[in-house]
Chain A
Amino acid sequence: MKICVCVKHVPDTAATIKIDGETGFKDSEIKFVVNPYDEYGVEEAVKLKEKNGGEVVIVTVGKPEAAATIRSALAMGADRAILVTTDSQFLDASLTAKALRSAMEKDGLPDLIFTGKGSVDTESFQTQYRLAHSLGIPVVNEVSTLSVDGKKAVAELEVGGGDKQVIEMGLPCVIGATKGLNEPRYPKFPDIMKAKKKKIDEMTLADLGLDASAQGVTLEKLEPVPERTGAKMIEGSVEEQVTELIRILKQDEKVL
């Protein structure tokens, strides 16, 4: 079984984003990682390979620096990778999906595709759907339990209010992974060394016949979310503190 895992190169969630100009950010000063949700996809793919044999290919659309992030995914046990290079962190979901599809078609379509449920940078939650639709295959997102046999996949996902749906679909399909699916492994030193020798095929959007200027969504402005400057501390005995808190929430803030 050939499994492709779409991995995005994103700033570490603990990194401070320093805005640069209207739409840029200082990406050379911060650490980038495998998008946390994609890690669940990598882990699940590697586990399936360990059980059934086959091959796990990482597919990334991102800046050339994404190669370092891809090495982390390879250290988790993936076999090789494809990197479609762009010069922007903010390629829209439609174009990203087209690039992922073209890269996979060129390499030979897989039997199963994993993505994360979304990326923690642009949070647009749709690339996996566009990829699946263009391939004419099923997609299910926010999957926390999965079983795969030769012909079908059964996925469990939360649908709100604690309810869960069990969904069956044929292969190939796209699975958007989320927390609960597995515990992503921490690569050991020998795995990290081995990953350095694994192959990363690089190509550009243009090599795939795609044009970065053809995007439906443009980033006009990036601005920091206003930070709160520190709490107003409520003093006194527990009784007094609670009475004052309720007064504030009801009268001043009108949220109760």
Chain B
Amino acid sequence: MASTGILIETENGAVKETSLGVMTAAADQEIIALVTDTDPAGLKDKLAEYGAAKIVKLTAAGKDVSASPDLAARALAAVVEKYGLTALLGTASTTGKDLFARLAAIMDQPMVSDCVALDIQAKTAKKSHFSGKTFATLKVDAAVFLATVRPNAIEAKASAGAGEIEAFSADVTDPGLVTIKEVKKGDAGKIDLTEAPVIITGGRAIKAAENYKMLEDCAAKMGAAVGASRAAVDAGYAPHSMQVGQTGKTVSPKLYIACGVSGAVQHFAGMKTSKVIVAINEDKDAPIFAKCDYGIVGDIFDVVPVLTEKL
């Protein structure tokens, strides 16, 4: 059977839920889970449960590959060769998108970024074109099918695998083109927007930066991340790192709750593929109500605290 490599992302020593979804996309293949940043022993049960035949701890000449993105990409290219992979998939997270683009350039192979569905056998992938307005089905003509999958787009389903652990030290070196000088830590413990299973977003109606506290309290009850609309970011209520939509982040959570967001096309571009969209807005004619699943007409400062209390 053909082997597919899956680059596993972890958080606090555990496999991210989004990576399990990527494994599910390759359920009809022999799965080789690639771990770069964590001791694989602690991930074994979970990865085997979701179909990993092998779990490979990947290093570059015995060292951590994350020292440079070019080094990590070269190590991945070496894995493809070593295991004769016919496909290699990752998560379309910030780092995953960057890494796979570097990998595709090094291997000089086509790569499809941010897929919502894919068929490894047929080498086809479905992804957004025109800012979430259309889906494109792309056919890839390549020896190795490279793709990243939009976080939460494919629901993780268990499917048992042997989960044998081995190590592979790729014989690669960093070309030394870029140097990471510093990592500036954001707020610790914050759930990454692009990967969050639930997102609650505040729009212009939030009125002030400090009012995001109300959404954070609600988010904490749901394990959600907090987002902002462009209008709120431009008004200075929230940093750009929280912006959802065109010129911000593209997200695809199970549940998206928009609070005081009017619903511009550019906002939908970033959250349209969410499974369920709920809008809370004072204006019953707000465009968002025409394109979401459930709506509540009301002042967010009345509705959200009650929601937080009842959750």
Contacts and interface: CB of A to CB of B under 8 A. Distances in A.
Interface stretch (A52-60, A190-198, A229-237): A229-237
A102 B98 CA distance: 24
B110 A166 contact: no
A256 B241 contact: no
B192 A161 contact: yes
Contacts of A14: 265-266
B302 to A, nearest CB: 5
A144 B240 contact: yes
Contact of A17 (B130, B142, B239, B255): B130
B112 to A, nearest CB: 7
Interface of B: 93-95, 97-98, 100-102, 104-106, 108-114, 124, 127-142, 177-187, 190-192, 194-195, 198, 222, 239-241, 243, 246-248, 254-255, 265-266, 269, 272-273, 275-279, 289-298, 302-303, 306-307, 310-311
Interface size bracket, A side: 35 or more
Contacts of B291: 227-228, 230
20 contacts: A17-B130, A17-B134, A36-B247, A37-B247, A123-B127, A125-B97, A125-B101, A130-B104, A133-B105, A134-B105, A159-B95, A160-B93, A161-B191, A167-B180, A218-B139, A218-B141, A222-B137, A230-B290, A232-B295, A255-B254
A111 B144 CA distance: 34
A11 B132 CA distance: 13
Contacts of B130: 11, 17, 25, 120-121
Nearest to B302: A238
Interface centre among A36, A231, A256 (most CB of B within 10 A): A231
A219 B113 CA distance: 14
Contacts of B184: 156, 163-166
Nearest to B94: A160
Q: Which 4 A-B residue pairings sit nearest by Cβ, starting from the closest? A: A162-B186, A216-B110, A231-B295, A133-B105
Identify whether the interface residues of A are mostly helix, strand, loop, or mixed.
mixed
Interface string A205-216: 000000000011
B105 A245 contact: no
Contacts of A243: 310
Contacts of A37: 247
Interface of A: 11, 13-14, 16-17, 19, 25, 36-37, 92-94, 120-126, 128-130, 132-134, 137-142, 144, 154, 156, 158-170, 173, 178-180, 215-225, 227-228, 230-234, 238-239, 241-243, 245-246, 248-249, 253, 255-256
Contacts of A122: 129, 136
Contacts of A144: 240
Contact of B310 (A94, A125, A242): A242
B292 A225 contact: no
Contacts of A170: 177
B247 to A, nearest CB: 5
A120 B177 contact: no
A34 to B, nearest CB: 13
A205 to B, nearest CB: 18
B190 A217 contact: no
B181 A154 contact: yes
A59 B294 CA distance: 45
Contacts of B124: 220
Given A37-B247, A94-B110, 7 more contacts: A13-B246, A124-B112, A129-B105, A137-B177, A159-B95, A218-B141, A238-B303
Contacts of B307: 242, 245-246
A156 B241 CA distance: 13
A236 to B, nearest CB: 9
Contacts of A222: 129, 134-137
A203 B128 CA distance: 30
Contacts of A132: 105
Contacts of B240: 144, 179-180
Given A126-B111, A164-B186, A242-B306, A141 B295 contact: no
Interface centre among A11, A218, A224, A248 (most CB of B within 10 A): A218
A231 B104 contact: no
A161 B269 contact: no
Contacts of B133: 16-17, 224-225
